[in-house]
Amino acid sequence: MASHLELLITAERIAAKTEELGVRIRSDYGDRQIILVGILKGSFIFLADLARAMGGDVEIDFAQTSSYASGKSSSGIVQIRKDLDINIEGKHVVIVEDIVDTGTTLNHLRELWSTRRPKTLKVCSLLLKPAASKVKIPIEYVGFEIPNEFVVGYGLDHGERYRNLPYIAILREG
């Protein structure tokens, strides 16, 4: 089926927001070391920009999950395909997500990584869908709240396409 893109957030707005989030996170942590954990693959571009906006002492790691759908709704089963390389015990950790929808992925990661006794564990997501506000998931840093549409660009994909768009767009079918 043919599909088209509808601009939602320009590259300029993303850059300004990322800069703002980076500065805010750095000022919250002062000169402490921050472990940024990007959730692959969607967060790779956001993490690269956020890490540079933040400055200071930063270590970077990545993790990858996959969730299995049963029928139309997510099964709620999250599998870790790549776990952390860094030992996070006693560290200040910020999970970096591209988008939070139901919060299933994030809940699972928070629970799992909390058991490793980080000093603090927070979340920074560039985008937040409306479903996320219905369930109680703490997300300390949010870029934009968006409508309940499927979006692509700036790291987000549809079948691995569109990740390289510098802006965020709604993918409309037909």
Return the active site residues.
101
Binding site for ligand IMP (CB under 6 A): 42, 74, 97-105, 150-152, 156
E-only strand ranges, the chain = 3-9, 34-40, 58-70, 73-82, 92-100, 120-128, 141-145, 151-152, 168-173
Residues 142 and 96 sit within 8 Å (Cβ to Cβ): no
Closer residue to ligand IMP (CB): 18 or 105: 105
Both tokens of 78, joined, read 């999250």
Would you say 35 or 132 has its CB closer to ligand IMP?
132
53 vs 128, beta carbon nearer ligand IMP = 128
Comparison of 29 and 162: residue with beta carbon closer to ligand IMP? 162
Distances (CA, A) of 21 to 38, 42, 136: 15, 18, 22
Q: What DSSP state is assigned to residue 21?
A: H
3-state secondary structure of 173: strand
Taking only Cα atoms into account, the Rg of the chain, rounded to an integer number of angstroms, comes to 16
How many CB atoms sit inside 10 A of residue 46's CB? Answer: 26
